[in-house]
Structure 1
């Protein structure tokens, strides 16, 4: 599963159960729909662990953060999957926003570099 444009990419690696994000995502709400579908497909796999690697995602707007929050809530509701978010200390939005996902999923693991 992969979505790639000139500005960003979201790729799911089934070997490692990792969703890799990179680029700049400043999209309208409806433009996030293909990514939401990808996240939904991954959530329905009901894997024991999923990693979301955001370290190369330079920018995302509030619609994108909301979409990520919904994904976190979906996994928390199912109580099947342990979620690990990999974030960068060097990217301002990640430094500010990633910790807030822990409010949605208390057992969320965050790995910062």
Structure 2
């Protein structure tokens, strides 16, 4: 599963159980995020016991993208048998506050900083 554009690349590595997000997500509203939401939903349906969300190379995420990630975290939280680890970078300004907010939605999230 992969979505690749000039601005961003998102894919699921089934071997590592990782969703990797790179680039800048500046899409206009939730309808433009539909393909990414579908990819994330497809991953949740597979119910890996541990899922890694690698955001280390996601340079920008707008409010619609943060909303999308929040809804994704809630879906994972509803799967009682899934653990979520988020990998972030302290060098990317939006991640500090936003990843802490994701932990409020799902306190069991492990955040790993680079």
TM-score band (shorter)?
over 0.9
Structure 1 residue 84 displacement after superposition:
0.2
Q: What is the DSSP-based 3-state SS (H/G/I as helix, E as strand, rest coil) of the residue aligned with 1:41?
A: helix
Q: What is the DSSP-based 3-state SS (H/G/I as helix, E as strand, rest coil) of the residue aligned with 1:58?
A: strand
Q: What is the DSSP-based 3-state SS (H/G/I as helix, E as strand, rest coil) of the residue aligned with 2:39?
A: helix
Equivalent position of 2:2 in the other structure = 2
Q: What is the DSSP-based 3-state SS (H/G/I as helix, E as strand, rest coil) of the residue aligned with 2:40?
A: helix
**Size of the alignment, in residue pairs?**
113
Equivalent position of 2:15 in the other structure = 15
Structure 1 residue 53 displacement after superposition:
0.3
Any stretches of 5+ residues in structure 1 without a counterpart? none
Q: Does structure 1 residue 73 correspond to structure 2 residue 67?
A: no
Report the TM-score, using the length of structure 2 for normalisation.
0.97
Equivalent position of 1:108 in the other structure = 109
Structure 1 residue 28 displacement after superposition:
1.2
Report the TM-score, using the length of structure 1 for normalisation.
0.98
Structure 1 residue 52 displacement after superposition:
0.3
Matches of 1:78 and 1:86, distance apart in 2: 20
RMSD between aligned residues: 0.6
Any stretches of 5+ residues in structure 2 without a counterpart? none
Structure 1 residue 102 displacement after superposition:
0.7
What pairs with 1:37-52 in structure 2 (closer than 5 Å)?
37-52=38-53
Runs of 4+ displaced beyond 6 Å: none
Structure 1 residue 78 displacement after superposition:
1.5
